[in-house]
Amino acid sequence: MNAFSRIDMGEVTRLTRAGQLAEAMALLQGRPASAKPQVDAREGAPRKDGRTARPASIIDMVAPRTLGGAWTASSLGEGTVGEAPADSTGASERQGLAETLRSLRERFPKMGSISGLGDGFGSPQRSSITVPNGARYDERSFSSAAGSRTYKIYVPSGYNGQALPLVVMLHGCTQSPDDFASGTRMNELAEEHTFLVAYPGQPQSANMQRCWNWFNAADQQRDSGEPSLIAGIARDIIREFSADPRRVYAAGLSAGGAAAAIMAATYPDLFAAIGVHSGLPFGAAKDMPSAFAAMNGGGTASPRGSRELVPTIVFHGDADRTVNSTNGDRIIAQAGLEGASGKVVTHGESPGGAAYTRSVQSDRSGREVLEQWVLHGAGHAWSGGSPNGTYTDPRGPDASREMVRFFLAQGGRSNQTQH
């Protein structure tokens, strides 16, 4: 008997047209299509306003087909899938089934053959983290009224109780803390320069693709949702390890980059500088339609949440087909700098042959506070990253090393410009 004879393809078609891809995939795997988890920033908890938590929206960030390729965002609700019942044998019904399967394949290109469908939807490989003698790489959990998140913390071998800088790394969709640590090599830089690194993890219960919910209004406010959780993790580490509270930085990729921009806007008193790779500016979206518009280069970003300047370094490929590179320009424009000494532009090529344009703006004292790298021909991947992690472009330039250089050059928050 054909395996599909036991599958209700009419229901698969309906779910696909409705954008309920996880449920459709479950039916194709012979599993019941369970309801989406009911979550908000606090996993399974009621909201402060007493209303029942709603399911988190999903932005599907589909894995690239080739090394260094671009992520793609699935386009839902196009009306291209037929509605034929599963037990029909007519041409139109067969076409509906074919279009349903093709739609699922296009939206999840790494899923392989139908007989081998997996739950991961392009989920990252398991990453093995090597920890040198004297260093630590531990898992912690932070909980507050907003919910809870686990995170990994790297403590370099040179730590002896001194007040070290802290870099908070926010992974992209489908990634994990270990995967992001492997891909960015940030632990190696922490060992070299002696600083702490934290990797908060976004669970699937908060977003099925493990994206930070940068497009939800409640997750773009101070003392609310995910920003409060990320800030809480940073403060916990400051207390536990006596880290330098003036030298706390955040960086992220894609959805994680958008989350880093949110942290700069909502907690400028905590973060001394941020790095955004292939991300979006604060306030770029308030719901799913505006999120896809922003990713495609449309829409407008909100004004910066604070009048305090947070130094910002941006990396973005100009061939990015997932998050349009105009978002890099908008992040720099949003950061803003009154009285800047002008823009210095240089062109170069990495040792791996990747061309780039680097633009730098300085404050009145000559300190470089806004830096933008346009990566020519690059897609949606961490520049200069390790192939041991997902969504990396090993050709360079080395975004991790450049971000660390930029962060450490800023000094503490007391030195920053306000206007």
For 124, 160, 292, the CA distances from 17, given in Å and listed in that order, are: 27, 57, 18
Report pLDDT digits (tens) over 282-297.
999 999 899 999 999 9
Taking the model in full, what pTM does it have? 0.74
- DSSP one-letter code for 63: P
416, 309 Cβ separation under 8 angstroms: yes
pLDDT band at 227 (very low <50, low <70, confident <90, very high): very high
Structure token digits, residue 178: 């270990």
Q: What is the pLDDT of residues 92-140, one digit of tens each?
A: 333 444 454 444 444 443 333 222 222 222 334 456 799 999 999 999 9
CATH number for region 136-415:
3.40.50.1820
Amino acid symbol at 346: T
Label the pairing between strands 248-253 and 273-277.
parallel
How high is the mean pLDDT of the chain?
79
pLDDT at residue 110, as a whole number: 35
Separation between Cα atoms, residue 293 and residue 256, nearest integer Å? 18
Per the document, the length of the chain is: 419
Per-residue pLDDT tens digits for 376-409? 999 999 999 999 999 999 999 999 999 999 999 9
pLDDT, greater one: 39 or 356: 356
The answer to whether 53 and 45 are in contact (CB under 8 A) is yes
How many CB atoms are located within 10 Å of the residue 66 CB? 7
Got the DSSP string for 102-153?
HHHHHHSTTS-SGGG--SSSSPPPP-PPP--TT-EEEEEEEEETTEEEEEEE
pLDDT digits (tens, 9 = 90+) for 14-24: 665 565 666 66
Q: According to the model, what pLDDT value does residue 342 have?
A: 79
> Residue 411: its pLDDT value, please?
79
Residue 381: closest CA among 151, 61, 57: 61
Longest dimension (CA), the chain: 76
Domain range annotation of the chain: 3-35+64-116, 136-415
Q: pLDDT digits over 251-269, tens only?
A: 999 999 999 999 999 999 9
Question: Band of the pLDDT at 55, cuts 50, 70, 90?
Answer: very low
